[in-house]
Amino acid sequence: MKEFKLFINNKEMTAEADPDTPLLWVLRDHLNLVGTKFGCGVAQCGACTVHINGKAVRSCLYPVSAVGTNKVVTIEGLSVNGDHPLQQAWEELDVAQCGYCQSGQIMAAAALLKRNPKPTDADIDAAMTNICRCGTHVRIRKAIHVAAKKGGAAK
Amino acid sequence: MSIASNISRRDFLRVSAITGGGMLVGFSVFAHTDPTLTEGEFTPNAFIRISPDGSITLMAPNPEIGQGVKTSLPMIIAEELCVDWQKINIEIAVLDAKYGNQVAGGSGSVRSRFTALRKVGATAKTMLVDAAAQTLKVPAEECYAENGYVIHKPDGRKLSYGSLASKAATLPVPSEVKLKDPKDFKIIGTRVKDVDVKKIITGKPLFGIDTRREGMLFAVVARPPAYGKKLKSFNDAETRKITGVKQVIPIKNSIAVLATSTWAAKKGRDALNVLWEDTDKLESTADHDAAFLDMLSRKAPDTSRNDGDVEAAMTANHKVLDVTYHTPVVSHAQMEPLNFFADVRDGKAELFGPTQVPGSLRGQVAKELNIAPENVTIGLPRQGGGFGRKLMPDNGLEAALVSAAAKCPVQVQWTREDDMQNDFYRPSASFRYRASFENGDLLAWHQASVWLNRGNNDDTYPAGALQNFRAESQGLATNIPMGYWRAPGHNVLGFAAESFMDEVCYELKKDPLAFRLELMEKAKKQPVGKINYNPDKFKSVIELVATMSNWGKKPVADTYFGFSSWFSFNTYVAEVVELKMINGKPRVQKVYCAVNCGKVVNLSGAENQVQGAIVDGIGHALLTQLTFDKGAVVETNFSDYRFLRMKEAPRDIVVKFVPSEDPPTGLGEPALPPIAAALANALFAATGKRFRKMPFEA
């Protein structure tokens, strides 16, 4: 066990964990940030997507010891009031069915808009590789376009 | 799967006063007052809770697995209660007999509860109106309800529901209430967002996996690595060295490792040294498939339906089309891996977690732990998908056993690999279809199917429209557990039947839509035997999707279409797939879908279910299969158990509902069965190749 000092959602947090513990489980079990979801454990589905220094990372295979002083943002910290343009678009289009994968989808989309504020359909195809088992793909695509129009990269 | 029948007047409406004011309205099978009610507290024990401060809470009685019933069922109550949807609270009900049949299955929640929940709302509204009339000393006929107020029509005086609640609760329950004319619906039939949308997009705890309780340990369980194997012995020396591991407990054929975090529990589980022994046959997919072909070559012992004389219509003098189809085993793979929280102590069990059958779970826990059923409480979180997996309550039962043995609260967490290896799968199936022709028309149709575990009742459309029709089905015994997977039976039967129908149309050189409409005319005017579908409703969706997709109108370069329609859960669906060949590879562009499911309750949710079922069906048709090698799954995680990603999904899915005032029918499942055939038929149009074996891209 080792104590890790982490910078998550603009706050300093400490967690005592084995160095090989994936960031996902440190978030969920040690820090009670349960918005980041477990789906596969092998970085395939993207339910566990967080941002590390602004880039989308699948936290289920990312050991806590590799985080260092990098800035971590989870769904809980994407916006202060839950009003990131993507969150607004997800609400407006009523994207979710079960809702389980959607925090990971939103985080993946937020990283996309940060580096590409006006993505084309092809850009969305390439960037959005998360799994949605309910099949909300059509609404996710539309929501990303809606958020981009609203200036989704501004945040 | 059984569907709850409509709750009748006999399951009488109960209205009870709450100490401190307010009213509850619910179905009740208990004559006594709920013991959990205390002064000033409003416990969620009925469908409607109105407190004197004006807050209104509606209970969503059925498990929410992504099918939208946490939103749609309360909408039905709210409609008749005449409240402002924006101002009410919604809660998921705990398991309690007063809520009727709390099951998520068979596309049954809305259709089984529609009328009963309307009456729940209307009864409360009627009593509130009576309370207002008495308060104002005016005739009730002069009052009406709107947006949480009762208004006296002649002079416009308004009383809020909150101010009337205490009085209303003392009034007699009306034996008959008038329901709204559907023309006056303000909530039913509109677009309403999922009630949890804000929590979903901000990552609030909502799901079973998010449960955190004082003193709770996390558990990961070692289960047999293959069907046919059982636990022989184990050594936990390495496991106990892992920091955070607290207990190692054998439970039947499994070993639970309890720790202070999920990761420590998983590491502990993986460090176990376990000896498993073979106690049964270790089955493989290759053996199943070979047996299927052998069985299809012989006549089945059971016939689902036999009209006319198929064999006499398939002599050497007739042209006969004879093809086989195959669909593999698939896993449910709901996004939220199975889990359950359990706290079993002092003869009581508290459970909270994902299940589609809380009532059945309660029964099993009570029996296995020898606890009275009333001492087993089950709370329901929102659930990360279902698709039929949780019609089996094994995950909840296992957690209860682990907690009972560990004597502490636990959350048992399954890994994705655990989930894939321990499922109740969609059975694989092989189909043989034969048709014969005479004078440019279809003369006879024969379909035979073989399924893992047990045969299927294949008495479906196009039976009734054909003079000579025979369907027969048989099962192949297996020790691999088979279960219910979204639209059981229909999910692959629709593929085989509607692919074959397209082959028949091609043989006849007839337009696939026109030919199906012809069949519906025959079924209507000269039915052969019993007809278990409504030809007019079938026609309604075929005609609507033809208009939506511009079927048969001017061809577009490199664009190909495929059609299919199916009837299940009392709902009629017709679908057209539009695909393009891009760099020689087919890519689905758009899907058009027409649905006749009676009255639509929530237009946004309904559309979402249909779009989702289409993506689900396309993905499984193209990419997904689960194979077994000596009882163990070969595809253990999403790296090789493939799901459709954004780049493979349709760019757009257009959904239209046939306008209807009929009561709602099923919707979570019916859009799935036809889509694989629509896709296969479009692929044939594009490539000239028939895709008769799923997954097409394997």
| B188, two tokens | 């039913």
Q: Chain A within 8 Å of B381 (Cβ-Cβ)? A: no
| CB nearest to B201's CB, from A1, A91, A130 | A91
Q: B635-693: per-residue pLDDT in tens?
A: 999 999 999 999 999 999 999 999 999 999 999 999 999 999 999 999 999 999 999 99
Could B416 and A37 be called an inter-chain contact, meaning their C-beta atoms sit closer than 8 Å? no
Separation in Å, CA of B64 to nearest CA in chain A: 8
CB-based contact (8 Å) between B243 and chain A? yes
- Decide if B263 and A76 are in contact by the 8 Å CB cutoff: no
* DSSP codes of every residue in B392-422: S-HHHHHHHHHHHHHTS-EEEE--HHHHHHS
Residues of B in contact with A133 (CB under 8 A): 333-335, 385, 387, 616, 643
What is the per-residue DSSP string for B551-601? TTSS--TTEEEEEEEEEETTEEEEEEEEEEEETTEEEEEEEEEEEE-SS-S
* Partners of B426 in the β-ladder: B330
Cα-based angle B627, B632, B634 (whole degrees, multiple of 5): 40
Q: How far is CA B662 from CA B190, B304, B570, B597, in A?
A: 16, 30, 11, 8
Of A28, A82, A133, the CB nearest to B198: A82
Cis, peptide link before residue B301, omega less than 30° from 0: no
CB B451 within 8 A of CB B292: no
Q: B374: exposed, middle or buried (C-beta count within 10 Å: 0-12, 13-18, 19+)?
A: exposed
Considering only CB atoms, A129 lies closest to which of B201, B613, B646, namely: B646
Q: Structure tokens of A114? A: 């940060």
Query: Closest approach of chain A CAs to the CA of B592, in angstroms?
Result: 13
Mind listing the pLDDT tens digit for each residue in B285-300?
999 999 999 999 988 8
Helix or strand or coil: residue B274?
Answer: strand
Q: Which domains does chain B have, with CATH numbers?
A: 13-187 (3.30.365.10), 208-279+338-413 (3.30.365.10), 299-328+425-687 (3.30.365.10)
Are the beta carbons of B343 and B349 closer than 8 angstroms?
yes
Q: What is the pLDDT along chain A (155 residues), one digit of tens a residue?
A: 899 999 999 999 999 999 999 999 999 999 999 999 999 999 999 999 999 999 999 999 999 999 999 999 999 999 999 999 999 999 999 999 999 999 999 999 999 999 999 999 999 999 999 999 999 999 999 999 999 998 865 54
Which domains occur in chain A, in start order?
2-77 (3.10.20.30), 85-149 (1.10.150.120)
The overall average pLDDT reported for chain B is: 92
Q: Which of A24, A50, A134, A146 would you mutate first to test chain B, the one with the most B CBs within 10 A?
A: A134
Adjacent-strand bridge partners of B255: B222, B250
Q: What's residue B330's pLDDT?
A: 98
CA dihedral A142, A147, A150, A152 (to 10 degrees): -150
With beta carbons less than 8 A apart as the criterion, state whether A23 and A59 touch.
Answer: yes
> For residue range B415-445, what is the model confidence (pLDDT) as tens digits?
999 999 999 999 999 999 999 999 999 999 9
B chain contacts of residue A38, beta-carbon cutoff 8 Å: 209, 262, 337, 413
> Which residues of chain A lie closer than 8 angstroms to B416, CB-CB?
39-42
B210, B334, B416 member nearest A34 (Cβ): B210
3-class SS at A3?
A: strand
pTM value is 0.95
For B90-128, the pLDDT digits (tens) are: 999 999 988 989 999 999 999 999 999 999 999 999 999
Separation between Cα atoms, residue B504 and residue B322, nearest integer Å: 10
B210 touches chain A (CB under 8 A): yes
Helices (H), B203-260: 237-240
Across the interface, do A37 and B209 touch by the CB < 8 Å criterion? yes
- Asked whether the predicted pLDDT for residue B491 surpasses 70, the reply is yes
Q: How confident is the model at residue B21 (pLDDT cuts 50, 70, 90)?
A: low
Q: CA-CA distance, B598 to B610, in Å (whole number)?
A: 14
Alpha carbon distance B461, B288 (integer Å): 28
Q: Residue B32 burial (CB < 10 Å; 0-12/13-18/19+)?
A: exposed
pLDDT tens readout for residues B121-173: 999 999 999 999 999 999 999 999 999 999 999 999 999 999 998 888 888 88
Tell me the C-alpha distance between B48 and B34, whole Å: 14
Per-residue pLDDT tens digits for B390-417:
999 999 999 999 999 999 999 999 999 9
| Cross-chain CB nearest to B385 (options A1, A94, A134) | A134
- Those of residues 576-595 in B touching chain A at CB distance below 8 A are none
Mean pLDDT of B83-93: 95
Nearest to B262 among A29, A125, A137 (CB): A29
DSSP state of B375: G
**Contact flag A41-B637 (C-beta cutoff 8 Å):** yes
CB-neighbour burial class of residue A154 (10 A; exposed 0-12, middle 13-18, buried 19+): exposed
Q: Does B194 touch chain A (CB under 8 A)?
A: yes
